[in-house]
Amino acid sequence: MTEVVFWALVALATVISLTTAWALGANSNSPPFAPAIGANAISTMRAAFLIGILAALGALTQGGSISETVGAGLIDGVAFTSLAAAAGLLTATVFMAVGVYTGYPVPAAFATTGAMVGVGLSLGGDPAIDTYRRIATFWALVPPLSGGLAYLTATLLRRDEVPETVGVPLLAAVVGGIVANVRLSLIPSSTGDQGSVAAYVAELVGTPTVWGVDVVAVAATVVAAAVSFQFIRRRTQASVDKGIKTFLVVLGSVVAFSSGGSQVGLATGPLENLYLVELGLPALLLLAIGAVGILGGAWMGAPRLLQATSREYAQLGVRRSIAALVPGFIIAQLAIALGIPISFNNIIISGVIGGGLAGGSAGVSRRKVGITLGFWVLTLASSVVVGFGLYRLFAAALG
């Protein structure tokens, strides 16, 4: 391969990666703020602006683990070249475009994972069976976990003996405690890994662990939860409506941040070997490219989608919307910690169904759910085949 062809492929792969990130920013990052818009807690344009900023920050500070899995953990024995990255990203992008056209959203995680596995096999690599088992187990657990957490959340909010001045602040406390333990690349850690606020406070204090438990980190978590509880409780005591709207905006913000961290790796992962090994560039630069794409997609494409989805969430009601978003935040952060690519739509849809069951009916067509699940499985399987064939086609064309 000549130098001119190499750099042309680098440019092509980068452009496709940006396009994929743009699509993720426009689509996958929109649901978190839809309930707040539906409740008239925030305007559409302001929500789109915040989504772009928060998702881009999440991509920069949390996107590394999933990017590494997609770029190096799906295939053993080979590394993705610029041609392989271009073929895989193009395959995933085409599948997502087909999903938009047909009206059945194709999970980006399914399309990208399948495409890169197909490309890797076409390169002559070996299947990473342990990684597949771990990813498949997590994917299989997402619907019952998200739906179950949403059911419990909606049940708590519907109980008459638990007033909203207590139930909503309790959920805020859970979210605040988790935020204190979210791993971020900008927080230093003595282990060299990403640190969290709670872990950083514990390192500053330097108190030894008790029975393997870091007491200071636990105390920092409790403080964060208490502050979150008290903040939302004061808002709900002053006005239940304003308190709930405040929580919807805060919840939408942390979910949008998590969405950026969990989705950017789908666009940047295929370029990991190319940028970090072949070109010797820092990982932060690659994540920045993905963050720019997500930012652009959120600002340019999200407003139209937000207007549509906000109407759907307005029909669901604020309690069911909260019940869908709380599990979304928890599961997204768990996936980031484990480095597992996920479908954010899968999490949200499962949460909506689980929240609906708490009211006696999911309000979702079983037929459509079945067709959607079948479409997702078909996406995963067929993207492997298409990725395999497309790389072979590209390789043959370049001689």
- Rounded Cα–Cα distance for residues 168 and 240 (Å): 9
Q: Is residue 50 part of a domain?
A: yes
Q: Is residue 174 part of a domain?
A: no
The rounded percent of the chain whose pLDDT value lies above 90 is 42
Q: Is residue 29 part of a domain?
A: yes
pTM exceeds 0.85, yes or no: yes
Q: Is residue 125 part of a domain?
A: yes
Q: Is residue 302 part of a domain?
A: yes
Weakest-pLDDT range from 152-156, 159-163, 277-281, 357-361: 357-361
Q: Is residue 224 part of a domain?
A: no
Among the residues of 40-81, which ranges form H helices?
Answer: 44-62, 64-68
What are the pLDDT digits (tens) for 119-173?
A: 999 999 999 999 999 999 999 898 889 888 888 888 888 777 788 888 899 999 9
What are the pLDDT digits (tens) for 283-335?
A: 899 999 999 999 998 888 777 777 766 666 666 677 777 888 888 899 999 99
User: In terms of C-beta density within 10 A (0-12 exposed, 13-18 middle, 19 or more buried), how is residue 133 classed?
Assistant: exposed
Q: Is residue 215 part of a domain?
A: no
Mean pLDDT of all residues belonging to the chain: 85
Instruction: Please enumerate in sequence order all residues whose Cβ is within 8 A of that of 229, keeping only pairs 6 or more positions apart, or say none.
Output: 169, 170, 172, 173, 176
What's the pLDDT at 114? 94
Neighbour tally for 168: CB within 10 Å: 28
Q: Which domain holds residue 304?
A: 3-160+259-397
- Rounded Cα–Cα distance for residues 326 and 174 (Å): 9
What's the pLDDT at 333? 92
What are the pLDDT digits (tens) for 74-123?
A: 999 999 999 999 999 999 988 887 776 665 667 889 999 999 999 999 99
Number of domains in the chain: 1
- Please name which of 228, 323, 306, 294 lies closest in space to residue 62, comparing C-alpha atoms: 294
Q: Is residue 377 part of a domain?
A: yes
